[in-house]
Chains A and B, each alone.
Chain A
């Protein structure tokens, strides 16, 4: 029996997830696409929107911190830096491009009817299961790669205060820059129910901030994927998951003053704090994408892709699952939650993820969607106007 308080927390998280999924579907706010399209086409609008969102979150977290609304700082589940996080980020970067979306992108796309995204989701769960098998040696490797000064945030590394004011100023500056940028653009869209990336970023910032207030941490979902893997293993191979060290870990142990309750949990195959917080976010994002697509009359089960694209989605999903476990979090957790407070782990994740996305883009264009353009870089073709006729 789930306690009423935990049910209320779960319902709040479901609502936040649904809002995020709805906004992401309306704007196609694909975090994987932001990096992939930069490398493939030199397209930067999504990347700028992502930068805007990171800055907005920095400002929002700073404001919440100044108001005393962040009960746990740095956020729970953020750990000291290790080079293993960068390695995980690299795998994650490749995976999100090959899967056609990140751990969140596959959810709202699946909700809107994409079978490829569902295959990617299956890959993420499978990758999480693979990680559980190699958790112990990986943990030793991660310990060997630990940086000498174990500070969770960059300000902490230098013994400084959280730099709320400085971070907030940076956010305000970025917001002002974006407004200038948005004023220059603003091309009308033929797409139904379109939400500009800037507006989607505002919505996602509100969701992130609400998550910090309600659950004492920003959005994160990948430990729940590992939990799905554990449940799956228990169903297929009873006793197996319980015998693995990773599934016995309980990384979340936090008190939520707003609800006057404590949440404890991990990837193990039981209902716990991770299931109560992350599970509803996962379901909510998919439901948000579904609701948006249905409302626009765009929902259709879409399964007409060539076989190699399904292979890419599955492999990419597995790399997402593995990478997020190696890095103790995904791009949403690190880029939208950790980076705005200059978490050292998140900086390392980003340092690994960006070259990973570049490598993934090369692999995608070479093996998955080959021969798009013969004899030249895609960006050259796109950027250079054909003067004819």
Chain B
């Protein structure tokens, strides 16, 4: 089954809101993310977050991908593995 994508648009926010808000969402969606039912798509314009989010969320056991888009970045958090 294709996972549902949950968008989290946090462009323009104060540092380190991007990481804190992403951690909150990962925490809230924990079960759905772990089961693979949901993927989290974070939109951010914080250059620093392209390092901090993958670092933090990877250490929690998730797979993270960062992709440049227009004037911002898309960070996808999903379950590790198939």
User: What residues of chain A have their CB less than 8 Å away from a CB belonging to chain B?
Assistant: 25, 28, 30, 32-33, 36-37, 40-41, 43, 100-101, 114-116, 189-192, 194, 297-300, 302-306, 309, 312-313, 365, 368-369, 371-374, 378, 381-389
- Chain B residue nearest to A313 (CB atoms) is B14
B80 interface residue per 8 A CB criterion: yes
Contacts of B15 in A (CB 8 A): 30, 32-33, 36, 100-101
Is the pair A33, B24 in contact by a Cβ cutoff of 8 Å? no
- Chain B residue nearest to A190 (CB atoms) is B66
Is the pair B61, A385 in contact by a Cβ cutoff of 8 Å? yes
Contacts of B5 in A (CB 8 A): none
User: What residues of chain B have their CB less than 8 Å away from a CB belonging to chain A?
Assistant: 9, 11-17, 19-21, 23-24, 27, 30, 34-36, 45-48, 50-52, 55-56, 59-62, 66-68, 70-73, 79-81
Which of A30, A101, A372 has the most chain B CB atoms closer than 10 A to its own CB? Answer: A372
Is the pair B21, A372 in contact by a Cβ cutoff of 8 Å? yes
CA distance A75 to B47 in the complex (A): 35
Closest beta carbon of chain A to B73's beta carbon, Å: 7
Please pick, from A189, A365, A382, the residue contacting B56 in the complex, using a CB distance under 8 A: A382
Contacts of B59 in A (CB 8 A): 382-385
Contacts of B51 in A (CB 8 A): 189, 191
Contacts of A25 in B (CB 8 A): 47
Is the pair A36, B73 in contact by a Cβ cutoff of 8 Å? no
9 pairs of residues in contact across A and B, judged by CB atoms under 8 Å: A36-B16, A41-B52, A43-B52, A190-B67, A304-B11, A365-B20, A371-B24, A385-B60, A389-B36
Closest beta carbon of chain A to B69's beta carbon, Å: 11
CA distance A212 to B68 in the complex (A): 38
* Those 8 A-B pairs whose CB atoms lie nearest each other, nearest first: A302-B12, A304-B12, A190-B66, A372-B20, A100-B14, A386-B61, A28-B48, A386-B60
CA distance A275 to B81 in the complex (A): 58
Contacts of B46 in A (CB 8 A): 28
**Contacts A37-B52, A299-B71, A309-B13 given: A386-B62 contact, CB under 8 Å?**
yes
Closest beta carbon of chain A to B18's beta carbon, Å: 10
Contacts of A298 in B (CB 8 A): 45, 47, 71-72
- Chain A residue nearest to B36 (CB atoms) is A389
CA distance A37 to B27 in the complex (A): 19
Is the pair A191, B13 in contact by a Cβ cutoff of 8 Å? no
**Contacts A298-B71, A300-B45, A309-B13 given: A190-B50 contact, CB under 8 Å?**
yes
Contacts of A114 in B (CB 8 A): 12
Is the pair B17, A309 in contact by a Cβ cutoff of 8 Å? yes
CA distance A189 to B47 in the complex (A): 10
CA distance A304 to B67 in the complex (A): 21
Contacts of A189 in B (CB 8 A): 50-51
- Chain A residue nearest to B67 (CB atoms) is A190
Closest beta carbon of chain A to B36's beta carbon, Å: 7
CA distance A298 to B81 in the complex (A): 33
CA distance A382 to B62 in the complex (A): 12
Closest beta carbon of chain B to A116's beta carbon, Å: 5
Kindly list 9 other residue pairs between chains A and B, CB separation below 8 angstroms, not including A299-B71, A372-B23. Answer: A36-B16, A191-B50, A300-B45, A304-B11, A309-B17, A381-B60, A383-B59, A386-B34, A387-B61
Closest beta carbon of chain A to B35's beta carbon, Å: 7
- Chain B residue nearest to A191 (CB atoms) is B50
Contacts of B47 in A (CB 8 A): 25, 28, 191, 194, 298
Closest beta carbon of chain A to B31's beta carbon, Å: 9
Closest beta carbon of chain B to A47's beta carbon, Å: 13
Is the pair B27, A302 in contact by a Cβ cutoff of 8 Å? no
Contacts of A32 in B (CB 8 A): 15
Contacts of A305 in B (CB 8 A): 12-14, 17
Is the pair B50, A312 in contact by a Cβ cutoff of 8 Å? no
- Chain A residue nearest to B15 (CB atoms) is A100
- Chain B residue nearest to A302 (CB atoms) is B12
